[in-house]
Amino acid sequence: MKKSIQFILFVLLFCSQLSAQETKSIQGKVMTISKQPIEGVTVMVDNSKKYDISDANGNFKISDLVPGFYKLIISHIGYKTDFVKFEVKKQTILELPIIYLQEADNELQEVFISGSIFNKTPNAAKSGIKPLDLPQSVAVISNLTLENQMVQSLGDILKNANGVYVMGTTGGYQEEIASRGYSLGSNNTFKNGVRYFNGMTVETSGLESVEILKGSAAILFGNVEAGGILNLITKKPRFDFGGEIDVTLGSFNLIKPTFDVYGAVNESKTTAFRLNGSYTSADSFRRYVSSETFYFNPSLLFKLSDKTSLLVEADYTNDHRTPDFGAGIINYQIVDMPRNQFVGVKWGYYDAEQLSATTTLNHQISDDWALTFINSFRHYNTDLFTNARPNSGGSTVQEDGTWQRNLQKRDYNDNYILNQLDLKGLFNTGALKHQLLIGADVENYSTKDTRYFALTAANNNGQAYYDEINIFNPDYDNFSNDIPVLNKDRLTTTPVSRFGIYIQDLIEINNYLKLLAGVRYTYQDTKSDVYTYSSQTTAVTNLYDDAFTPRFGIIIQPTEHMSIFGSYANSFETNTGIDISGKALEPSLIDQFEVGVKNEFLNSKLFLNVTGYIINNSNLAQTSFANGNTDSNIKEMAGATESIGVEIDFTAYPVTGLRLMAGYSFNEMTYTKSNTYVVGSLLRYNPKHTANFSANYDIETGSLKGLNLGILSTYFGERFAGRSFLITSPNSGRQLIPLSDYFQLDATVRYQFNPKLGVSAKLANITNVLNYNIHDDNSVNPIAPRNYTVSVNYKF
C-alpha cells in the first residue's frame, strides 16, 4: 500500500504540473422557451474537442480557450440545434447570455461527443454532482461504446472498466460480478435506479449506457456491498420519429434480431414513446447446451406541464437455457477435458423470468430546486431442474472419472416494491454554495424459495443417485433421459421491509475547495418462515437491523480540470444466524477510505484518474466454536477482512477519430482476523491484477469514410477457487485451486454505407485462449473459444 500511495502522490504532482497554466473560460445556461433549465445538453466549441454537458440546472462551462472568435454548437435530443458566436478577450471567465432552445419538429438526433467514460455524471449519484466534484471513482459506458464493441453480455461491457469483473458463471446461466474484492449481487445491481435481479442473463440490446460507482454507495442505497454498484440505463422515449432494425448472426448458431422505434404520440408533442426488443436463439460451444431469450422494453414520456414530466417504463426478460456446471475438477485439480465436453443431464433446464414496471415523476420547483419520485414494481421467478453440481452433496467425481449423478430442483420467486422520493437543490449561505440532496426510500420484498429432495435410496428404489457416467468418456447416446418426480423438501418465505432516509450536501467554499458530507439511517425488518413438508412444521425467525452510514469527503481543485480528493464512507451488511445466546446477529460495519486524483487536460484530449482505497470489515460473522458448537447457524463476530487497492484510468484522443482507453487495477483482499481461516490468506475469486486497453478509430474523411476499426484487450490476473483451508479442521482435505492469468483480445470492424445502412463484425478471443470461471470446486465453466458475430443494421 505504501508504494501505491507513493505512486498516487507522484501522479498527482505530475498532473498538477500539466494543469498549472492560466486558462480562460466561458460559462452559461441552457433553458427552454418557457425558462426551464435543460439537463444533458451538449455544448461544443466548433472545430475542436472542447465541450461540456449541461447539469441539472442547465449550467455549462468550457475552459482552456485562448483569446479569439468562436462558435458554439448547442444540441439536445428533441430540440433544434442552436449556434452562438462569441469573442474571448482578456477576461478570465466570459458569462454568456442565457441560451433558449426551441423544441424540434423533426430533429433526428443529438450531436454525439464521445468524451471519457470518467467525465459523465451518473444518474445513480442522484444529486447530479459532476464527477470532478465527487470524491469517488465513477464511470459511465456510453451507447457508442456498446454499439462499437457489439456487446452481447454484461461481461463484454465490463471489459471497459478495470477492477470490475466477472468472478464466476455458475451453471452458465448467470454472470457473478465483483469489484474491489466484494461480490456485487442483486442488492448492488440496478436498472434505472431500481434493484435488479442479476441471477439471470442480462439482455444488453435495450441498454443506453451503464453506470459504475465504485466503493461505498450505502448512503444512497442502504444495504449494498462495499465494492460498488452497477446501474443499467435503458433507452428512453424521443419526440422525433425514428428507429432501427438489426439482425445478428454468429458462432454456435447465434440468431438475434432486434428492433427499436420511437417518436411522438400526439401532434402537440406532449407524449413520446419508445419500443425496443430482441429475440435470441443460440447453441453453445458446449455440446447439448442451448438458450432462448425474449426481451421487450416499452416506455412512455408525458410532459404534464412545463415543469413536470412523467416517465413510465416496463422491462421484460424471459430466458430459457441448459444449466451447465461442468465437471473438470477431481481432488481439487482441474482435469484435462475437451472444452466442449458436457456431462450434465441433457433435459435439464433453467427458466428465468423478470418483469419490472417503473414510473418516474420529475417536477422542477424552481430554477434551483427539483423533486423526483420513483415508484417501481419488480417480479421475477426462476425454475431450476437439472443434475446436482459435481463434488457437492455426496456427488463426488472419482479419480477414474466415475460420477454418480444426482439431481437438484428449486423454484424461486420474488415480488419487490420501491417508493423513493428525492429533493435536490442549490442555495447559498453567505459565501458558501450548497448542492443539497434529501431523500427517503421504502422497499418491500416478498420471496418464496422452494427446495426439493434429491434422490436417496429410500425414495429411489434403493439407488441413491440418478445414473452413473464417466466424465472422460461420456456415452451421450445412453444418457438417462427419464425425468423423475422429486418431492418438496421445504418452503422458505422471506418478507423483508427496509426504510431509509438520507441527507447529503456538497459545499463549495471557494473555487478551489469543496466538502461533501452526508449520512443515511436504514432500518430493516427481515422475517423468515421455513415450512418443512415432511413434518408439516414451520420455524419462524425475525431479524431487526438498523445502521447509520455516513460519508465525508474533501475535494481540492487547483484548476478547473483537476480534482484531488479524500473520503471516508461506511456501509453495512446484514448477517443471518444467531449468537451463542440465541440472539440475532448485529450487522457487520465496513469502513472505506479512498483518495484519488481526477484530471482532464491538454485541451480535453487526455483524461487520467488514479484512485487508492482501503476497505475494512472489522466484525465479520463466522461460525462460533464456543462450548464445542458445530452448528454453522450459531455465529460470532470473530473475523475481519481488509481490501487494499489502486486503480488507474486513462483516455486519450491523440488524433481526429482515434480514441484510446486503458486501465489497471490492483486489489488484495485478505483475512486479518479469523477463527476459521488462516490469517493473511487471500479471499477466493479475486484477481490481484486486472487491466484493459482499447483503441477505436473512426475514419471521417476520404474514400474510407464510414469505416470504424476497434481492438479490445483485457488482462485477468491469477486468483483462487476451490475451498479455503480451515484451521479448525486441518484434516478436512480442503484446498484452494489456483487459476492462471490470461489475456483476451477482441477486434471489431464496422462500415456505414450511408446514414441508414451499416454492417459490423466482431472476432472475439482471437488467440483462442483457454481459462475458467470456477465456483468452489463444483461449477467449472470454460470461457468461450474464438468466435465471431456479424450484424446488419438499418436505421429509419
The three-state (H, E, C) secondary structure of 671-690, written as one string: EEECCCECCCCECCCCCCEE
Please check the confidence at residue 106 and state whether its pLDDT lies above 60. Answer: no
Residue recorded with cell 485478505: 670
pLDDT digits (tens, 9 = 90+) for 118-172: 666 788 889 889 888 999 999 989 888 999 999 999 999 999 998 999 999 999 9
For range 10-30, the mean pLDDT: 60
Q: How many Å apart are CA 114 and CA 712, to the nearest integer?
A: 17
Residue recorded with cell 444495504: 223
What does 89-149 look like in DSSP terms, one character per residue? -S-SEEEPPPEEEPBPSS---PPP----TTSS--GGGSS---GGG-SS-EEEE-HHHHHHT
For range 345-368, the mean pLDDT: 95
What is the Cα gyration radius of the chain? Answer: 27
Burial track 400-429 (b if 16+ CB lie within 10 A, e otherwise) = ebebbbbbbbebbebebebebbbbbbbeee
What does 99-115 look like in DSSP terms, one character per residue? EEEPBPSS---PPP---
- The one-letter amino acid code at 603 reads N
Q: What is the pLDDT of residue 572?
A: 87
Q: How many Å apart are CA 472 and CA 454, to the nearest integer?
A: 25
Q: How many Å apart are CA 156 and CA 694, to the nearest integer?
A: 13
What does 618-653 look like in DSSP terms, one character per residue? EEEEEE--GGG---TTBEEEEEEEEEEEEEEEEEE-
Q: What is the pLDDT of residue 22?
A: 47
Q: How many Å apart are CA 152 and CA 252, to the nearest integer?
A: 14
Q: How many Å apart are CA 334 and CA 739, to the nearest integer?
A: 9
pTM, two decimals, is: 0.87
pLDDT digits (tens, 9 = 90+) for 471-505: 999 999 989 899 999 999 999 999 999 999 999 99
Which three cell numbers, joined as nine digits, stand for 279?
Answer: 429475440
Q: What is the pLDDT of residue 729?
A: 82
Which three cell numbers, joined as nine digits, stand for 105?
Answer: 419538429
What does 245-285 look like in DSSP terms, one character per residue? EEEEEETTTEEEEEEEEEEESSTT--EEEEEEEEEEEEE-S
Residue recorded with cell 492469468: 741
In angstroms, what CA-CA distances link 450 with 322, 417, 487, 488? 20, 21, 11, 7
3-state secondary structure (DSSP) of residue 11: helix
Q: How many Å apart are CA 353 and CA 321, to the nearest integer?
A: 12
pLDDT digits (tens, 9 = 90+) for 213-269: 999 999 999 989 999 999 999 999 998 899 999 999 999 999 999 999 999 999 888
pLDDT digits (tens, 9 = 90+) for 579-626: 888 788 888 899 999 999 999 877 667 889 999 999 999 989 888 888
Give the length of the chain: 796
Q: Which of 704, 602, 718 is nearest to 653 (CA)?
A: 602
Q: Do the strands 189-191 and 228-234 form a parallel or antiparallel pair, or are they unpaired?
A: parallel
Residue 98: Cβ within 10 Å count: 11
3-state secondary structure (DSSP) of residue 358: strand
H or E segment to which residue 611 belongs: strand 606-623
Which three cell numbers, joined as nine digits, stand for 310?
Answer: 412523467
For range 519-532, the mean pLDDT: 94
In angstroms, what CA-CA distances link 171 with 166, 270, 326, 342? 14, 47, 8, 12
Q: How many Å apart are CA 344 and CA 589, to the nearest integer?
A: 41
H or E segment to which residue 6 belongs: helix 2-19
